[in-house]
Chains A and B, each alone.
Chain A
């Protein structure tokens, strides 16, 4: 069975500094991995996804994530945080047949001016 662990429940950065949101996964098969973002009172929006192609995945709004099989990690990064990045971020894994997404507990990103 798959599982996802987001290592930080809260991350606080200053505007213009790098962002790192950590995610480790466990999966019996070759997983598909996703990062979703949820702004307050908004729906979930897909940031990026990994599906066994390039291990470095680029997403929207300058975010990217690197799939590292040896470390079972899929950390989300951004070189320079913007105030609008403040939101909750979810790391997600799906089985190879894609029927069910398993969500991490979420990381709340705070961006200080």
Chain B
């Protein structure tokens, strides 16, 4: 597609439920990134994929968070047993590769509210 697409754009869920957030990167982009932005704060790195593998998962906050990517395309970020502190905007981004200077394009984010 023309840009990075994320769904849902907004999600309200009850504490303790599981949620899945989807990201469709720009076609042909081998690198895919997930970030989280809490209200009033900067972006936190969660995980990145090169192809279907995730060399760096260091940013995942806890074992309730997981992500996968298939077909070197779509990625899903799953949050199990959601907590109120998980409320944030989850941003997906993609780039042609992970080489330095490659422009990283962001989606508009999935706004998650845990009540």
B-binding residues in A (CB < 8 A): 32, 34, 36, 42-46, 49, 51-52, 90, 94-106
Residue of A nearest to B47 (CB): A100
- B90 at the binding interface (Cβ < 8 Å): no
Tally of A-B Cβ pairs under 8 angstroms? 63
Q: State A90–B93 Cα separation when bound (angstroms).
A: 15
A-B residue pairs in contact (CB < 8 Å), sample of 7: A34-B104, A52-B101, A95-B100, A98-B99, A101-B43, A102-B45, A105-B41
B59-107 interface (Cβ within 8 A of A): 59, 91, 93, 95, 97-107
Residue among B41, B48, B101, B105 facing the most chain A CB atoms (10 A cut-off): B101
Contacts of A98 in B (CB 8 A): 95, 97-102
- B20 at the binding interface (Cβ < 8 Å): no
- By Cβ-Cβ distance, the 9 closest A-B pairs, closest first, are A51-B101, A43-B108, A44-B106, A103-B43, A98-B100, A103-B42, A105-B42, A99-B98, A98-B98
Number of interface residues of B (CB under 8 A): 30
Q: State A51–B100 Cα separation when bound (angstroms).
A: 7
With contacts A100-B48, A101-B33, A102-B45 known, is A32 near B56, CB below 8 A?
no
